[in-house]
Amino acid sequence: MKAEHEFFPVAEVPWTEDVPGITQRLLSAAEDGRITRIARWAPGTTSGDEVIRHEYFEEVYLLDGSLTDLTLGKTFTAGDYAARRPGMPHGPYRTGEGCTMLEIRY
């Protein structure tokens, strides 16, 4: 299970590197991989060349910037939301200007 947290200032959670080009503020995590985080993609970051599939449910809400789905040829911006079931194909992605998103995995 994820740990319980009452309201706390998210700005006090340090940014850590997830993978090159992507930093995160890990807000809540469980040993089984469930997480809630704010992910920040630096300008020019890509998710690679392959379509992405994973074994967890994922929700993503773009807080700022933009993210382009290279398969769909569509750019998503602040205020856009995605909910993905396990195994759902998505991406690959690229951001020209960078973006910040709230991501919840379970």
**What does the H/E/C string look like for 2-63?**
CCCCCCCCHHHCCCEEEECCEEEEEEEECCCCCEEEEEEECCCCECCCCCECCCCCEEEEEE
| Domain presence at residue 79 | yes
| Domain presence at residue 101 | yes
Q: What was the pLDDT predicted at 27?
A: 96
Return the CATH number at 52: 2.60.120.10
For residues 51 and 69, give the distance between their C-alpha atoms in angstroms, rounded to a whole number.
10
* pLDDT tens per residue across all 106 residues of the chain: 888 889 999 999 999 999 999 999 999 999 888 999 999 999 999 999 999 999 999 999 999 999 999 999 999 999 999 999 999 999 999 999 999 999 999 9
Q: What was the pLDDT predicted at 10?
A: 96
How is residue 23 written in tokens?
């930093």
Q: What was the pLDDT predicted at 3?
A: 81
CB 72 within 8 A of CB 105: no
Q: What was the pLDDT predicted at 49?
A: 92
For residues 68 and 94, give the distance between their C-alpha atoms in angstroms, rounded to a whole number.
5
How is residue 66 written in tokens?
């933009």
Q: How many domains does the chain have?
A: 1
> What residues make up the domain containing 78?
35-105
Q: What was the pLDDT predicted at 72?
A: 96
Residues with Cβ within 8 Å of 31's Cβ and at least 6 positions away in sequence, in order, are none
